[in-house]
């Protein structure tokens, strides 16, 4: 069964910090990715995705999310583009979004197309 996460209730309504070094460092994309998407952090997971086009593994409900920044989207979602087979299309097959604005979805899609930029400490 696909799990649905109500982002505002379970995490935050402002998705802006890439990591603990950005902004106030709280509720950052690294923590988000590790909490909700760690099961995708394996090359094997993306080989499987290329073979099977299943229903999404997780759904994020963006109801009442006020903001998502590009650096958050890059660290939380584009991070997976480092794996062979983790194309933007494959990522969007595994991770689904509901109640998301056009602008919020576009920010995520642009970051997926750009690929993971990482950060330096």
What pLDDT is stored for residue 1 in this prediction? 72
pLDDT one-digit tens code per residue, 28-82:
999 999 999 999 999 988 876 655 566 688 999 999 999 999 999 999 999 999 9
**What gap in Å lies between CA 100 and CA 119, rounded to an integer?**
26
Specify whether the backbone of 105 is left (phi greater than 0), alpha (psi in -120 to 50) or beta.
Answer: alpha
Secondary structure of residue 95 in the 3-state scheme? strand
What six digits make up the tokens of 107?
């920010």
How much is the pTM? Answer: 0.90
Q: Residue range 89-110: average pLDDT?
A: 96
Q: Residue range 76-98: average pLDDT?
A: 94
How much of the chain exceeds pLDDT 90, in percent? 74
What pLDDT is stored for residue 49 in this prediction? 60
**What gap in Å lies between CA 70 and CA 13, rounded to an integer?**
15
């Amino acid at each position: 069964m696909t799990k649905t996460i109500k982002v505002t209730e379970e995490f935050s309504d402002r998705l802006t910090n890439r990591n603990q070094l950005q902004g106030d460092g709280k509720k950052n994309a690294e923590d988000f990715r590790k909490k909700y998407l760690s099961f995708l952090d394996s090359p094997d997971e993306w080989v499987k995705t290329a073979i099977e086009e299943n229903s999404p593994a997780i759904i994020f409900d963006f109801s009442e999310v006020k903001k998502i920044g590009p650096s958050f989207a890059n660290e939380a979602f584009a991070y997976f583009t480092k794996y062979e087979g983790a194309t933007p299309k494959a990522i969007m097959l595994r991770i689904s979004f509901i109640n998301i604005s056009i602008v919020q979805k576009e920010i995520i899609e642009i970051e997926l197309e750009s690929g993971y930029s990482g950060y330096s400490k």
